[in-house]
Amino acid sequence: MPQETTTSRALPSLDEWARGLLRALAKTAPGMGFDACEMKLDEHATLGDTGASLSLVSEHQRVQISLLGERAPLERLARTFMLLSDDEALVWLDAVDAVSEIVNVVAGALKSEMIDEVPSLRLGLPLFAETIHHRPGTRRKLALVVKGARVTMSVRVGSVAG
């Protein structure tokens, strides 16, 4: 029996990806130390210019998720993830690794959430940038507050050029 591909079914919409991202974050947050975090889809959330992004690619769609914020909230998020107290030293490169790993964990959970709808989905590697220039286009934003640190996760969906 031939395997069904994404060409024989409707591709998930941006809103479906955003809801999947919210579910993925809800599932992974406690294991990353974000037990009491607040999260909600919020189109007015501010996109920071620093953070990590990761692409998930299928036969027909490219989905990019990002975790963005200012440096201080990202450091706070990294401290929580790394189980560091406020008085313990944190090297910025360790914070970069932690933020990138948070994106990686959430992206893995998002892939699991969406694999039935997009069986050919493949996970990329996280990339971190300290100066991000946001391209115009439609995205959905998820406001995330962890121990007072406000950051934004976003999801963008595009076509894979053939």
The yes-or-no verdict on residue 98 having pLDDT over 80 is yes
Q: Tell me what the mean pLDDT of segment 31-45 comes to.
A: 90
* 47 confidence band (pLDDT: 50, 70, 90): confident
Comparing CA positions, the residue from 55, 54, 50 lying closest to residue 78 is 50
Pick 138 or 70 by higher pLDDT.
Answer: 70
Whether 150 has a pLDDT exceeding 80, the answer reads: yes
pLDDT, position 2: 43
User: What's the predicted TM-score (pTM) here?
Assistant: 0.89
In order of start, what are the domains of the chain with their CATH numbers?
A: 12-159 (3.40.1550.10)
* pLDDT value at residue 25: 94
Predicted confidence at residue 99, as pLDDT, reads: 97
pLDDT tens digits, 51-95: 999 999 999 899 999 999 999 999 999 999 999 998 999 999 999
What is the residue-averaged pLDDT of the chain?
89
pLDDT at residue 8, rounded to an integer: 54
Q: Is the pLDDT of residue 7 over 80?
A: no
Higher pLDDT, 5 or 79: 79
Contact of 68 with 51, CB cutoff 8 Å: yes
